[in-house]
Structure 1
C-alpha cells in the first residue's frame, strides 16, 4: 500500500503554529493560576504570524537539565532569543547525559559549548552564553527577560535566584505588585528518578524559599569522625578534600578540575579500603565535594519538557498554567502528581512580614546569628544592624574587625527589647530580613 504524500496543510496540523493561531477553550485566563488572556496570534490575512516570540528567555544552568531545556526551546521553532548562564566546565562524566557535549569539549565552558551547538543546529534561535556565576549578574541583567527557566543542581544557587527574582518586583501605592515587574520563574529539579517542575510568580505564588523545609538540611559531620572513625563513603571523601588536600597542595581545591577531583577520588578510595568501606565512586566524590544533586538522563528529559511547556504557557497564555507544583516519581510509575504549594506566611523572601523572635536578654549576638543559620531561616553568613548602629558586618574586612567584639556581648547590651533589626545575607540578593527580638 502506497502512502499518500504529506501536503503542507497536513504537516502543519498539530504543530505549535496551529496551537497558537486558533482560539482555545482552555486559555490561561480560565485556569486556577491565570496570568493573562490568550489572543490567537493572527495577522491581517487571518493566518498565524510566524515571526516567532519576541520575548527574551533566560536559561540558568547548562548541565543535565539545561541541555534538555535548550533543545526543547529550539524544537519549538518559535523562540528567537535565549541567554544561558553556567559556571561549570565540561567533565568526561557529563557526556553520558548532557548530549550537547562531545569528548573534544571536555574542559570547555558548558554555557559556551551548549550555545554553539544549538546555534549551529537551530539557526532560527540565537543563544547567547555567559560563563560565570549567577551571583555576578546584577538586577539589571535579570530585568531584561520575560521568563527565567532554572535548571540548577544545588539548593543554595536556587535560593539566590529565587531571591533575586522576588527583589525585582515593584509595588504600587496600594502595596500591590506591579504586574509588569513580575518575571515568572520556572524551577526544575531532579534527584535520581524523581523530579519536579514548578511555576513561581514572584510575590504572588509560593516561592522556592517557601518550600525550603521540604529539603533536608545538610548535616555537618564532626571532624573527629572524619579523621578517626569514618563509617560511610562520604566520610572518606570529606577526609580527602578537607584534611588531606591542604597538607599536600598549597592551592585551593578546584571542584571543576578533573585532575583535582581525580586526586580526591583516589585518595578517598584508599582511605575507604583501609577501613573496609565500600561505595566510594568518582560520581559520589563529585556530589560530596560540589554538594550537587545527582541526575538521571530520562528524568532530566521529562522535567525539562515540563519546564519548557510551562514557559510557553506564560509567554503566550495559550493554555492553563500549572498551579503550582508538578512532581514526577519515576521509580513508582510514569504518572506525575500536581498540587498547589501554598505560600509560607512568614517566608523571608516573598512576604513582607516582620519576623519575630523571643530570646533571653543574655543571649549573645553570636548565638542569635547561629540560630539564624541553623534554624528555620537557614542563612549562610548573616550580617545584622539595628536602627542606630551596625551590630556585626562580615564585609568589608575593616568593618568586620570593628564589629567582631559585639559577637560575645549579650543582646540586652546591644539593643532594646522589641527593637527591629535588619538582617542581610547572600541568599537574599538586594533585599533583607526584618527581625524583631523580644526579651523574656
Structure 2
C-alpha cells in the first residue's frame, strides 16, 4: 500500500485522485519509467506523443516526492553562470545549454495550457540582495543574460524593492518577468492526467526492487516485472542506492516550508503586492510567496545531515519574522518538507547507463522548469535524435567525495562554511 501524501498546504488544496493500482505480473512495453514526478511524467508525455507504449512505476503516489512538496518556483537558467558552464563545455555548447534552459519554461507553459492544468501558474520573480556584494553579483548575472539576448529582467534599487516586498531587509533586487511560480502538486497531478490521456500506464505502490540496465533492461517490483526496450530512471533524490552507478553523484538534501493561517486578501497583498515569488541570494537561501487563499508560504531551513531539527517550525518562523515582523501574530498552520537532489556542480545531470537506460537527476533547486527539458531530451534520445541530449550530458558528473560513509559529514562541513559566508 503506497504512503499517503505528507500533510501540506499543497496536499490540502489539491484534487487528490483515487489510488492507481500496483503493477502485477509481467508487462511488456517500449519504455519503462521509474518515478512519477515531473521528470518521469514529462518524459512519458513526450514519448507517448511520439507513439511509444510507456509504463511508469511509482513507489508511492504520483508526485509523492520532491515534485509534490517543493517551493513551486520556476527559475530562469542554471544554478551556475553561463560563463562557469562555458569553462566546462566550451562557449558554443554553453550557449546551447542556455537556450535549452529557456525551452524548459516554454515546455512547462505549453503543457499547462494544452492540457488545461489548473496549477495557479503566475509569472514574475524577484531575486533580492541582502548586501552590496550580492547586489553586484545580481547585476553581473543580469548583464550576462542580456548578452545572451534575455531582456526580461529589470534592476530595482532599495526603494523600488521595498515597494515590491514589504521588508527593509534588502538593498536591491532583480525582477525577472520570465520566471514565476505554481502549485507543484496540482502541476504534477495534471501531468499524470495528461500522460494517461495519451495512453501511458501508471502504477502506484510499485517500488522497484531490482533493475537490469544492460541490453535487455527490466524493472522488478514485489508483485510484477516490466520488460521494456528502454528504461528511464527518474527517481532523483528518492532513487536511493538502487543504481550505484549514479547514486554517488547526487546528495539528497531536505528543505522545508511553513504556511501561515489565511491573512485576508488585503493583508496578504500588502506583503508582496505583485504576487511574484521571491528568493534571496544566500547560498542557503530563503524563498517565499503568497498563496491564492491569502496565506504566506515561507521556505528556507535545510538539512544536509538527513536529520530534521526538533524545533523546525519555530526556527523557520523566527527566520520569517526577521524579514516580516508584521507577521508576529500570524498562526502557523503548516510545516512540511522533503528531499531534493543536488549535484557537486549544482547543475542537472542527464546520461546513459548501457545502451538502453537513460537518467536525469540532481536539479539542485531548479527542478520545476529543468525537468521539462530533461524529459524532452531523453525522449528525443530514445527516438534516435540524441544531439541535444549529448550536449546536456557534457555537464560534468563529478561524484561527491567521501564515498557512502563520509560524503554527508563532508557536505555538512562545507555548508557550515557557506552559511558563515552568508552571515558575514
Q: In which range does the TM-score fall when normalised by the shorter chain?
A: under 0.3
Q: What TM-score, normalized to structure 1?
A: 0.23
| Greater relative contact order, per chain length (Cα 8 Å cut-off, separation 6+) | 2
- Going by fraction, where is strand more abundant, 1 or 2? 2
- Max Rg structure: 1
Q: What TM-score, normalized to structure 2?
A: 0.24
